[in-house]
Amino acid sequence: MPNPWEIYDALTDAIPEEVTLTTVNVGAQWTRVINSAGGIGMAWTMNVKTRPDIFPGVTLDGIPLREAAGLIRSWNLAESSIGQAAINSWHSSPETAEANGFVPTGQGINWGMVFDPYATDVAGKKVAVVGHFPFAQKALEAAGEYICLERNPQPGDYPDSACEYLLPECDYVFISGSAFVNKTAPRLIELSRNAHTVLVGPSVPLNPLLFDHGVDTITGFVSPNPQQLDRALAGVNMKGMFAAGYRVHQHRPA
Its CATH architecture, for the domain 6-99, is 2-Layer Sandwich (3.30)
At 55 the pLDDT is 75
Helix (DSSP H) and strand (DSSP E) numbers for the chain: 10, 11
Looking at the DSSP bridge assignments, the partners of residue 247 are 221
Strand pairing report for 172-176 and 126-130: parallel
Return the ∠ at Cα 175 (arms to 11 and 239), rounded to 5°. 90
At 57 the pLDDT is 63
Global pTM value: 0.94
- Give the residue extent of every domain in the chain: 6-99, 104-222+242-251
- Positions of the chain with pLDDT lower than 70, given as ranges: 1, 56-58, 236-239
Provide φ and ψ at 87, rounded to 5°: -55, -45
DSSP state of 155: T
Its CATH architecture, for the domain 104-222+242-251, is 3-Layer(aba) Sandwich (3.40)
- Radius of gyration of the chain measured on its C-alpha atoms: 17
Q: Which residues contact 11 (CB under 8 A, 6 or more apart)?
A: 69, 87, 91, 205, 207, 209
